[in-house]
A and B are shown apart, each in its own frame.
Chain A
Amino acid sequence: MGGWLRRAPGSLRGLRHLALGSPASAGRGYQLPHTDLTVTPEEHVDEETYYQLYPGHIPTSPLQKALLSAGSAFMALYNPYRHDMVAVLGETTGSSALRSLRDKMRHDPEGYQILQERPRIRLSTLDVTGLRGLSDGTFGREYVRFLDSNRVSPDTRMPVKFVDDEELAYVIQRYREVHDLMHTLLGMPTNMLGEVVVKWFEAIQTGLPMCILGAVFGPVRLNARKLQILTMELIPWAVQSGRNASCVLNFYYENRWEQTVESLREEIGILHPPAI
């Protein structure tokens, strides 16, 4: 990310650092000694390893984050199939919400355990056949049913790139992986309507700006009938559930496959979903 900047007087150092994309100050990256000399090098040979806080991390300056947020918001609305744009929007705008989420996780024993152990939900770690073998009504069985009927896979989640803190990067990764589980718990399919409902729930729960934007702008693409169902029944239920429920990231779902969906819903605090 650095550059060999040959002509840059010390007075324009601010501009130079902006130009060369110095890492966000929040990052725990390596700090180079600054000088006032005309030829100021940066160790970009080692920069990749120095500034990368986790694999896949791309350090970005505040200007770049602003541009990314604006651009990804526009692109996500323009082309709703660009899921990576939604992910980027979440990463670049979610820093304060992620921090409050992480604090919530730290204060809860199960959430703290998740932060320590850092479990990942991936096809390689999931025992899909075992889950399929569970009885109907259990969380694991319903989850696999959801994956099969909607033809989705937990491996299609984007890796985190633009979060400048390694723990927060895990928090947002966990949020993405828990998203599918939310679909199961709320009983919502992966069509536009279902996604909007889940976004409303998540917006109340997490407070991520991306969820709020998705919840507000998502319904734009729905037809009138669906919009009516949405506003009359689904959104009030989602908002109430979101307020009532404790933080969804504080549950170690990998240990709860055998639990029934109903009991899990009760434990979290999600109200019974209305019939669509």
Chain B
Amino acid sequence: MTKSLHFLPLSSCPKYMECPPHTCPVHLTQYPVFQQWPMPAAPEGMNRTVVILQVVLHKWIPESNSVFFWFAEAGFQLAGTEVSHDSELRYASAKFTPLPKMAASIGVAACRALHSRCRGKLLSIGRGLFSGARCLVAEGETNFGFQTVSEAEKGEKVYRVFESVAKKYDIMNDSMSLGIHRLWKDILLHQMNPYPGTQLLDVAGGTGDIAFRFINYVRSQWEHQIRQKLKSHQNLSWQEISKSYEEEELKLPGGSQVVVCDINKEMLKVGKQKAQHLGYSKGLSWVVGNAEELPFNDNKFDVYTIAFGIRNVTHIDQALQEAYRVLKPGGRFLCLEFSQVNNPIVSRLYDLYSFQVIPVLGEIIAGDWKSYQYLVESIRRFPAQEVFKAMIEDAGFLKVEYRNLTAGIVAIHSGFKL
């Protein structure tokens, strides 16, 4: 199949977001991913019908693409439909030639060829397809779970969600993930592998899980270093000896520092109480700040982490750019986030668990169904591993890679500012 089969823009393909970088089952051709970012609006009217037909027919008749191709080649104009102006502009920049009008005409022809009953069905599917697709929303609007809200509204709604769940956040995490979230966070720390002296910025780190683990890790690293030195009979410096005898340490070993930044004051409050309760006070600061506009200078931190927070940010690309800005050259970006499951069996079980059990747990333990409904919906809305990887690359990070945990339920993305 040749390239000219791409008579429709990539973005109108409903499977766009899940295609791995180099194959598209519908368009049957190779294309480099993400020619256009951010996503243009979903096609309307006849274009949509055509795409639906393509998807449907291709599933049953893989050769059907050639039929569409034939129509396109024949220049079969039955009727013209209006296509939005900006979509035409965007399509013009695409590598392949989309022909909206022709697509529309093909759609009409195909529709007339089919039974009218089927068309009704397919149109409703189409509506559903595109209303459900990730990222296909109008300008100035974004996703709040499965609802579409204005961008200004999303921030406020997310704030209220976390304000109401703050007190029960940790209990809910344990009960929803059956304690596995602790393992995920431990793996994140192992991947980070900080040494004493690292400056960490933990964004959306409200209740401080990552920060506390970081402190523990750095302390144990320091003790390990001391022990190694003793074992190899190296002479410890006076500083090291005095530090190991000190009961009250003034700082974290090596001068490591953690800054926990969160937009939500309730979450930080809970985090501070936890820190007091568990005895973490040194080298730890709590800052209120928005991930899209961090209140820090450039080139300040060695590591930037954001654990289970970036899907709540309204403009993910801005958050990534801020991450790039505040990191020192050589700094590392780490993101732990729910992602798309690749295994079909696990995926179905996961969906069942997410939509049936988690809101019920939220109602019973926290008395709040809607927040946990938002949680599971926002997970479904978040871009897949490869898409997110490309977003991180767009922000300027290099050597971006990701690692799936628990069959893809969670993924750790990592990038370097070099």
Contacts and interface: CB of A to CB of B under 8 A. Distances in A.
Contacts of A38: 59
Contacts of A2: 132, 146
Interface stretch (B214-222, B275-283, B362-370): B362-370
B125 A4 contact: no
A21 interface: yes
B83 interface: no
Interface in A196-231: none
A68 interface: yes
Nearest to A20: B355
B329 to A, nearest CB: 40
Interface residues on A, range: 35 or more
Interface string B136-149: 00000000001110
A43 B360 contact: no
A42 B377 CA distance: 14
A67 B356 contact: yes
Given A20-B355, A64-B356, A41 B125 contact: yes
Contact of A44 (B59, B131, B347): B131
Interface in A49-78: 58, 61, 63-64, 67-68, 71-72, 75
Contacts of A72: 363-364
B394 interface: no
**Main SS at interface, chain B:** helix
A6 B18 contact: yes
Given A37-B56, A67-B360, A8 B348 contact: yes
Given A7-B347, A37-B125, A1 B360 contact: no
B132 A41 contact: yes
Given A3-B355, A18-B356, A68 B363 contact: yes
B133 interface: yes
Contacts of A8: 348
A82 interface: yes
Contact of A45 (B14, B15, B131, B369): B131
A4 B133 contact: yes
B32 interface: no
B348 A3 contact: no
Contacts of B56: 37
Interface in B192-222: none
B270 to A, nearest CB: 20
A152 interface: no
B355 A21 contact: yes
Interface residues of B, number: 39
B112 interface: no
B344 A7 contact: yes
A58 B374 CA distance: 13
A19 B364 contact: no
A45 to B, nearest CB: 4
B363 A88 contact: yes
A19 B355 contact: yes
B128 A64 contact: no
Given A1-B355, A4-B380, A84-B367, A43 B128 contact: yes
Contacts of B15: 6
Contacts of B359: 64
A85 interface: yes
B122 to A, nearest CB: 9
A5 interface: yes
Interface in A239-274: none
B132 A44 contact: yes
Interface string A66-101: 011001100100000010110010000000000000
Contacts of B110: none
17 contacts: A3-B351, A4-B132, A4-B380, A7-B344, A16-B348, A19-B351, A19-B356, A38-B59, A39-B14, A40-B125, A41-B127, A42-B128, A44-B132, A58-B370, A64-B356, A68-B360, A161-B369
Interface of A: 1-8, 12, 15-16, 18-21, 32-33, 35, 37-45, 47-48, 58, 61, 63-64, 67-68, 71-72, 75, 82, 84-85, 88, 161
Top 4 A-B pairs, shortest CB-CB distance: A41-B128, A71-B364, A4-B132, A19-B352
